[in-house]
Each structure stands twice: as structure tokens, then as C-alpha cells.
């Protein structure tokens, strides 16, 4: 059982749900919105330098969607650890680190080392906290070791066990805006048809206009020319202009009894 790769793409392709990576405050991680009238669902997650947390947030929000945990705006504090939140956390953990996949990766052994913890974090792209809980539930760790390892961080494990370059690449990827793929595809189609400017695509992607134009040119995507069709004069319809009303206005006396035409002649 292979770990999940690009989780944004996996969710969009498997569920048809639009996912966006957005600019957000430091305490904002993710949210799910639903339009009941159209039965449309949208997942938004924050840009972050913590790629493992971003993946957990995505999986957590997917859990809310699958369990139909639609929040009521009057239902209290959304940050409360409700049963729905706890269930979404458990779903995310099992989705990202499935027990069967963990056993396939580690095999049968009585204990694991921090080096193996690092390998689990690196392979499944989860935080040490999530990895430690999964290892404990799979009976690889005792309680004390689980809590000890939950205090570790992914950057420290990456630095210690030689995969910092990969971690920095993951950080760069998780710290950039990303538009829903279907929306971006429609915008690119509109650009190719000559009805949308490249600036629209640049704005959706959160990149400079020049970079968006360069990507489009490199992909061979150019806006179609839309020729302006001029009508032949012979094809224009005859137009009759009735100036009678204008003549009446010109011949009508003003307040002092003088007609406009007579006043102009003076």
C-alpha cells in the first residue's frame, strides 16, 4: 500500500471537490464550505511552511466532507474538540498512515528507533506526532516512547537523518498559492479562446504576469485571434430620420416670445 502523493490532486481527482491553497492568518489552517443549493463543496487550506501539517489539514477536512460534518454557524465555537473534530483527526491519521501500509514498510519487529521514525515521517509525509501515534497503535511503541517522540519535529528529524533538501522542497511547495485545478483549466481555456487576459491566470496562480505568460508560451498556448468583421455599406439597412420634431422645437417661441431660429439670425 503506497503513501498518498499530491494530496490536493488526489482529492480533486477522486472526489471532484475543488481545493485551493490560500493566503491566511497564522492561526488559520483549513475550512470546508458547502453550497446546499448546488450541492457544491469547496476545501480551502492555508499556505504554510509546515508541509506535514498542511497534509494533515487536507485529510482532516476531507474527513468532514465524507462524514458530512456541515458546521452550523450557531453551533458554538468551531475550535472546540467536538466528536466530529476528533473523528476527522482519526480519519486523517488512518488515511495518511494506514496500518497495513505501515506494517508492509516496517515488517515484523518488536521495537523501532528514531531513525525508523524519521523514515516513517519521510515516507508518509506526516508529522512526528501523527507517526508516533500510528506506530503506537500498530504496537511498535510503548506509551512513554510515543509521548517522547511526539515532541520531535520534522525539520529536526530531516536535519539529523539527511533529508533536509527534500524537506525544504516540500516547504516551498506547501508555501505557495494554488487554485482549484478545474477553475484554472477553465481560465486557461478562456485565454486560449481569446476571451480572458493572462492576468486572470496569473492572479489565480498567485504569480507575476510575466511568469504566467512565459508558462503559457512554453506550453504553446496562445490566444486565438478574433477578427473584427466589418459590414459592407451596401448591406446596411436604410435609415429614415424624422427631423420634424426638431423643426418644431426650433420654431417654437421661448419665454420672451422669440423663436429660436429668429434669435440665431440676429
What tens digit of pLDDT does each residue of 220-247 get? 999 988 777 776 777 777 777 777 776 6
State whether 23 and 145 are in the same domain. Answer: yes
| Claim to verify: residue 38 and residue 170 sit in the same structural domain | yes
Q: Is residue 51 part of a domain?
A: yes
Which of 142, 159, 174 is the last residue before a domain boundary? 174
Task: Please tell me the predicted confidence (pLDDT) of residue 164.
Answer: 97
Domain total in the chain: 2
Residue 141 and residue 40 share a domain: yes
Instruction: Classify residue 221: in a domain, yes or no.
Output: no
Assess whether 122 and 251 both reside in one domain: no
Answer yes or no: is 247 within a domain. yes
Amino acid 5: pLDDT: 87
Q: Residues 84-106: what's their mean pLDDT?
A: 93
Mean pLDDT of 144-150: 96
Is 117 within the bounds of a domain? Answer: yes
Q: Is 76 inside a domain boundary?
A: yes
Tens digits of per-residue pLDDT, 26-82? 778 888 888 888 888 899 999 999 999 999 999 999 999 999 887 654 444 545 678
Task: Indicate the residue among 174, 197, 219 that finishes a domain.
Answer: 174
Mean residue pLDDT of the chain comes to: 87
What is the pLDDT, as a whole number, of residue 75? 46
Question: Could you tell me if 40 and 165 lie in one domain?
Answer: yes
Quick one: 254 and 151 in the same domain?
Answer: no
89 belongs to a structural domain: yes
Q: Residue 215: pLDDT above 50?
A: yes
DSSP state letters, the chain: -PPP--HHHHHHHHH--EEEEE---TT--EEEEEETTTTEEEEEEE--S-HHHHHHHHHHHHHHHHTT-PPPTTSS-TTS--HHHHHHHHHHHHHHS-HHHHHHHH-S-S---HHHHHHHHHHHT--HHHHHHHHHHTTSS-HHHHHHHTT--HHHHHHHHT-HHHHHHHHHHHTS-B--HHHHHHHHHHHHTTSS-HHHHHHHHTS-HHHHHHHHHHTT--PPP-PPPPPPGGGSPP-----HHHHHHHHSB-TTS-BHHHHHH-
Per residue in 166-193, pLDDT (tens digit) is 999 999 999 999 999 999 999 999 999 9
Q: What is the pTM of this model?
A: 0.77
Q: Tens of pLDDT along 18-42?
A: 999 998 887 788 888 888 888 888 9
Does any domain span residue 157?
A: yes
Q: Please tell me the predicted confidence (pLDDT) of residue 73.
A: 45
In a domain, 154, yes or no: yes
Q: Which residue range(s) make up the domain with 245?
A: 235-260
pLDDT at 74: 47
Domain identity same for 244 and 112 = no
Amino acid at each position: 500500500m503506497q503513501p498518498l502523493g499530491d494530496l490536493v490532486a488526489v482529492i480533486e481527482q477522486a472526489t471532484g471537490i475543488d481545493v485551493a491553497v490560500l493566503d491566511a492568518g497564522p492561526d488559520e489552517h483549513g475550512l470546508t464550505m458547502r453550497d446546499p443549493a448546488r450541492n457544491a463543496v469547496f476545501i480551502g487550506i492555508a499556505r504554510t511552511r509546515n508541509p506535514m501539517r498542511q497534509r494533515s489539514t487536507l485529510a482532516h477536512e476531507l474527513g468532514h466532507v465524507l462524514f458530512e460534518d456541515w458546521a452550523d454557524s450557531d453551533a458554538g465555537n468551531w475550535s472546540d474538540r467536538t466528536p466530529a473534530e476528533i473523528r476527522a483527526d482519526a480519519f486523517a491519521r488512518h488515511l495518511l498512515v494506514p496500518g497495513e501500509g505501515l506494517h508492509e514498510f516496517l515488517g515484523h519487529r518488536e521495537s523501532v528507533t528514531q531513525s525508523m521514525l524519521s523514515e516513517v515521517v519521510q515516507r508518509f509525509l506526516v508529522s512526528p506526532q501523527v507517526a508516533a501515534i500510528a506506530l503506537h497503535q500498530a504496537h511498535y511503541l510503548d506509551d512513554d516512547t510515543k509521548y517522547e517522540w511526539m515532541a520531535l519535529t520534522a525539520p529536526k528529524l530531516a536535519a539529523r537523518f539527511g533529508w533536509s533538501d527534500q524537506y525544504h522542497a516540500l516547504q516551498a511547495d506547501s508555501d505557495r498559492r494554488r487554485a482549484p485545478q478545474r477553475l484554472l483549466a477553465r481560465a486557461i481555456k478562456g485565454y486560449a479562446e481569446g476571451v480572458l487576459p493572462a492576468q486572470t491566470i496569473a492572479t489565480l496562480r498567485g504569480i507575476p504576469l510575466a511568469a504566467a505568460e512565459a508558462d503559457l508560451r512554453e506550453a504553446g498556448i496562445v490566444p486565438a485571434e478574433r477578427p473584427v468583421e466589418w459590414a459592407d455599406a451596401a448591406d446596411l439597412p436604410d435609415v429614415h430620420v424624422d427631423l420634424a420634431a426638431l423643426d418644431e422645437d426650433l420654431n417654437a417661441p421661448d419665454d420672451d416670445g422669440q423663436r429660436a431660429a429668429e434669435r440665431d439670425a440676429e
